[in-house]
Structure 1
Amino acid sequence: MSTQEMPVDGLDLIGSLVPPPSRTVEQQPLRTVGRRARATPPVSPTGPRFAVWARRYVAALTAWDVLVGATAALVPSVVSETLSSSWLRIVVLCALGALVWPLAVASMKGYQRRAVGVGSDEVHAVLRAWVAVVVAGAVCAELVPALAETERDALLKLAVTGTPFAVALSVVGRFAARKYLHREQRAGRFVRRVVVAGSAAAAGQLTRRLANESEAGMTVVGVCVPDAELADLVGLDVPVLGDLRHVGTAMRDHACDAVAVTSDDATRFTYLRELSWSLEGSGVEMLVDPGLVEVAGPRMHIRPLVGFPLLHIEEPHFTGPRRVVKRTSDIVLTALGLLVISPVLLVIALAVKLQDGGPVIFAQKRIGRGGEEFTMYKFRSMRTGAENELAALMERNQGKGGLFKLSDDPRITRLGRILRSFSLDELPQLFNVLNGTMSLVGPRPHLAHELAQMPAHSSRRALVTPGLTGLWQVSGRSGLEGDEAIQLDLRYVENWTLALDLLIIWKTFSAVLRRVGAA
């Protein structure tokens, strides 16, 4: 929930009933009950507030789109014989492009500060602006009677050929801006300062999730928990700023930009409503954690009923046209990829063979879609007979959640370490993709005995075809713990889209080149 801007000093406190924000309510002193709360030092905000840096970010995007609009009009105008006959006409068209393109993006809500750095709303706005400009250009070309037929055709071509250029430049600019923003946020700058409110257990879990998602651009300055839990808090990594009645005071004292409220018994009934009232006109966002960790926004819809709304969660879809699209994209991209990297495959195969004369390919039974067993292929990175040595190494296992992991595995050959460092040993799985037992993107396939040691809910991973890469790999590859990897796989299963697949493939190249979490 976003609220209008005004100084944070105007926040009202949450009590049994919060008065309308127009009234002045004396702020209650912050109670710090319990040893942990009394020992909490004040958090000193650093860097500009969210409203400040977000405004600068949006202004930079707007300026970029002005330049993009002018450039997108200039290039087709110069190459058009009709439009390039007059420099004055070109200047007018460039000025028109510099005005129309950012206005079109703005009309599609492409400059909303709440979407800064997160989600895909910025890109969707650019794509919608593309359609709007083409349609508007076609309509204007037909409705302006003073234009000659040749000029009308030239203007229509300008709208049709110039907008794809504008879309490409705008998306590239947003990608660069977001990469810069995420790099700054990983360093602790340009982040939203957040107070988490809810029960201690739920608040601690949400705090850890936000800490692990650096690209969410949020830093938790502290938590507010029910009064009954203040005396014996343990396991929280952030300061306790008071009970649930002191959210307003905590946000004012620590110059916060948002409050994140958990979904539990402590925040049920009237608490959320009263908190939302207190934030009106403060410029502070109210974020509610629905408690559905793996379910993303596109599947959530508010269903309005008489007197109260309900959150409707759509079922995930794994069949029909979506599956056909995924399979088609797998075949096309894999076939093209194999054509490009075939010389690399031959060189690696020759190197593995010359290394010790053993087999080039390591074949292993894995569990795939629907729990069915299939044979997965890899370039052999261990000495021959390595599988027979596994039992002797189990005492040194560093993996969790049923997975075997050993950083200094003695079975790996010198060449195998190089192949694993850049995930080159995985390349033969492209043939698994072609035969349909695997997909380019999906949950990682596991061994049967590994799955037997995983939680029961992990079986939902078998609803989709296992993948060569996935959210697990681009979020840390082998560096993630077993439970975290399962949660990421489930998040993918619940929210698959073709756009998500393309994003994961893009990030996979970056993760491999940086050798993030390689094993």
Structure 2
Amino acid sequence: MGDSGDWRVRTSRLLGAVDAFVVCWAVIGAYIVRFGLEPNFAVLGNDVAYGAFSIGLIVAWWLMLGAWNSRQSRVLGSGPDEYKRVAAASLWLFGLIAIFSYVLRVDTARGYVGFALPVGLTGLLLARWLLRQHLNVDRLRGDRVSRLLLLGGPSAVAHLARTLFEAPHAGYLPIAAYTPGVSIGTSEKIIELPVVGHAAEVPSILDAIDQTNADAVAVSAGVQLHPQTLRHLGWELAAKNVALIMAPALTDIAGPRIHTQQVAGLPLIHVTTPTLEGGQRVAKRMFDIVVSGLLITVTFPLMVVLGLLIKLDSTGPILFRQNRVGMEGRHFKMLKFRTMITDAERLLPELASRNEGNEVLFKMKNDPRVTRVGKILRRLSLDELPQLFNILGGSMSLVGPRPPLPQEVETYENDVRRRLLVKPGLTGLWQVSGRSNLSWQDSVRLDLYYVENWSLAADLVILLRTVRAVFSSTGAY
């Protein structure tokens, strides 16, 4: 357990050194830009030299990053929490400087602060990103991870183990399962994990921790432990310096939707559901109009050239209009550049046996119906440019679930119909997560996750990831 915990100390020290370097670089750079290389002790309002102020700023900035717990191992390597803490610590520090300067009427050089904050914050975030890439490579090899003992019912433990195995960059490595109150035999396994016990007693659980050399315990759903027993377990784990993680049976729930409230010492988890109503609906619509309008203006010459190439390559219309189902089940004509021969639908039954897509949609990597120009358009996703007019007209959005065909919707179960609560999108989680390589179940899961966790900030992130997905052409055929 000692070796497994050493990486946390080493990583924290490394982050401290990197933070100190970046902060020094930003503050000293700001001093040089503002006052030059010549020694300059021009004073602030009360005979405080800028040199001394710079040293104080460096120390305060470094301490603020530590006070905001931006170097904690549990926020490293996965999720936005690390970046949020770095940004919050930096902005709070400079906000306090601005307040004290105003209250004490100290005339702080704006050029000095105006350089140090953006340069330093950018440097800190970039350094954290680079260190995260290195950390992720190590975690893919099984290094610098928390060895996790999973407590809970068999199905809950299996689901948690499967999820963690699929996300090695999160830094949690399930090594064994413990099923309190459920005797399934210690010779059996759950998702390749050995079951090391089932007694609902703290000493037995502690023995399992020692046996497996775990440095963290995750308590999942279905755990048959009395609340007082769980409380005592937490005390014992704290004494052994073993982390206790509660993993409630909440799947596909984004962090901003979860709020914790203390009631008589009992933590209650509130889960809110985002709704596209009022100001949110207006904001998303305005964003669609502005961005789609700008993209149409910028790409219109390209669309004209592509239209001419399609016309010269094969006979038929330039645009392909297909009936799709939009928000609340309303049908609309989705526009795309034509990438197939004109009688493509007639040839579909002959190719049905060669389907390489998922269980619902027909996909084929080397589809003979695709034209020469069409292959290029599909690989670069240029065939979808006319959908910008659908977005401008209001039948689609920039980001949303994949626009389904009417025959797809006819097969939807009740839970899948939640995809129709928002407008379909030009791009979405399905676009940046594999596209045609996804199974039907994965496509549905991603679409439902988007519907359940929509936010404008998430839309911006998906758009940025779409650019990378388009250039990599992953799953595009």
Give the TM-score, by structure 2 length. 0.86
Encode CA deviations 1:278-322: one digit per residue, 9 max, x unaligned. 422233322233222122222222233236333222232221222
Asked if the contact 2:357–2:436 (Cα under 8 Å) also holds between the matched residues in 1, the reply is no
**How far has the Cα of 1:115 moved from its partner?**
0.9
Helix, strand or coil: the match of 1:295?
coil
Identify the structure with bigger relative contact order (alpha carbons < 8 Å, sequence gap 6+).
1
1:29 maps to none
2:273 match: secondary structure: coil
Among 183, 186, 194, the residue aligned to 1:239: 194
Kindly state the Cα deviation for residue 457 of structure 1 after the two structures are TM-superposed.
0.5
Deviation at 1:466, TM superposition (A): 1.6
Q: 1:66 to 1:327 in 2, by over 3 A?
A: farther
Q: Offset at 1:464?
A: 1.8
Q: Which residue in the other structure is 1:459 paired with?
A: 417
What corresponds to 2:317 in structure 1? Answer: 359
CA distance in 2, matches of 1:413, 1:269: 65
Paired position in structure 1 for 2:175: 221
Deviates more, 1:494-503 or 1:399-408: 399-408
Contact 1:438 1:467 in 2 (8 A): yes
1:491 is aligned with what amino acid? Y
Matched, 1:95 2:48: no
Q: For residues 309 and 137 of structure 1, do their structure 2 counterparts lie closer, same or farther at Cα, with a shift above 3 Å needed?
A: closer
SS in 2 for 1:472: coil
Q: Is the 8 A contact 1:438 1:465 kept in 2?
A: yes
Q: Are 2:387 and 1:429 aligned? A: yes
Paired amino acid for 1:424: L
- The aligned residue for residue 323 of structure 1 is 281
RMSD between aligned alpha carbons?
3.0
Q: Which residue of 2 aligns with 1:174?
A: 128
Distance 1:346 1:214, change over 3 A: farther
Which of 22, 25, 45 lines up with 1:68 in the alignment?
Answer: 22
Question: C-alpha distance in 2, partners of 1:455/1:194?
Answer: 36
Is residue 2:402 matched to residue 1:444? yes
- The alpha-carbon deviation at position 468 of structure 1 amounts to 1.8
The answer to whether the Cα contact below 8 Å between 2:396 and 2:425 also exists between their aligned partners in 1 is yes
Alpha carbons of 1:100 and 1:307: their partners in 2 closer, same or farther (altered >3 Å)?
A: closer
Deviation readout 1:338-390 (Å, 9 max, x if unpaired): 44444443343332222213222222111122221122222222222212333
- Is 1:474 aligned to residue 427 of structure 2? no
CA contact (8 A) 1:200 1:233 kept: no
1:14 aligned residue: none
The 1:162/1:207 distance shift into structure 2, 3 A limit, reads: same
Matching of residue 158 in structure 1 with residue 129 in structure 2: no
Secondary structure (helix, strand or coil) at the match of 1:223 reads: strand
Tell me, yes or no, if the aligned pair for 2:395 and 2:423 is still in contact at 8 Å: yes
Give how far 1:443 is off: 1.3
* Matching of residue 284 in structure 1 with residue 242 in structure 2: yes
Match of 1:506 in 2: 464
5 Å matches for 1:111-260? 111-142=71-102, 152-154=107-109, 156-225=110-179, 227-230=182-185, 236-243=191-198, 247-260=205-218
CA distances 1:225-249 after superposition (whole Å, capped 9, x unpaired):
3543338958733333333655434
Sort the Cα spacing of 1:188 and 1:264 in 2 relative to 1 into closer, same or farther, 3 A: same
Residues 277 and 400 of structure 1, relative CA distance in 2, 3 Å threshold: farther
Report the secondary structure of 1:473's partner residue: coil
Query: Cα distance 1:399–1:344, how it changes in 2: closer, same or farther (>3 A)?
Result: same
Task: Provide closer, same or farther for how the CA distance between residues 97 and 153 of structure 1 changes in structure 2, counting only shifts above 3 A.
Answer: closer
AA aligned opposite 1:502? L
Which residue of the partner structure matches residue 46 of structure 2?
A: none
Alignment match of 1:86 (pick from 29, 36, 39): 39
Instruction: Assess if the C-alpha contact under 8 Å between 2:30 and 2:113 holds in 1.
Output: no
How far apart, in 2, do the equivalents of 1:357 and 1:365 lie? 22
Match of 1:44 in 2: none
Q: Deviation at 1:68?
A: 2.6
In the alignment, is the contact (CA less than 8 A) between 1:261 and 1:267 conserved in 2?
Answer: no
Q: Which letter maps to 2:39?
A: S
Q: Distance in 1 between matches of 2:34 and 2:189?
A: 71
Letter of the 1:99 partner, please give it. Answer: V
Q: Is the 8 A contact 1:186 1:214 kept in 2?
A: yes
Q: How much does 1:336 deviate?
A: 3.5
Give the AA of the match of 1:497.
S
Superposed CA offset, 1:205-260 (max 9, x none): 22222222333232222322354333895873333333365543443333333222
The 5-angstrom pairing of residues 368-387 of structure 1 reads 368-387=326-345
Distance 1:247 1:434 in 2: 59
Give SS of 2:209's match.
Answer: helix
**1:301 counterpart SS class:** strand
Distance 1:236-1:75 versus aligned 2 partners, 3 A rule: closer
How far 1:496 moved relative to its partner? 1.8
Could you tell me how far apart the structure 2 residues matched to 1:302 and 1:433 are? 38
Gaps of 5+ in 1: 1-6, 9-47
2: CA distance, partners of 1:180 / 1:322: 38
Counterpart residue identity of residue 86, structure 1? P
Percent of paired sites with the same residue: 36
Aligned ranges 1:482-501 → 2 under 5 Å: 482-501=440-459
Residue 447 of structure 1: how far off its partner (Å): 0.8
- Aligned with 1:309: secondary structure? strand
Q: Distance in 1 between matches of 2:363 and 2:229?
A: 46
Distance 1:325 1:198, change over 3 A: same
Please say if residues 314 and 371 of structure 2, whose CA atoms lie closer than 8 Å, have aligned partners that are also in contact: no
Greater Cα shift, 215-224 or 367-376: 215-224
How many angstroms apart in 2 are the aligned matches of 1:350 and 1:239? 63
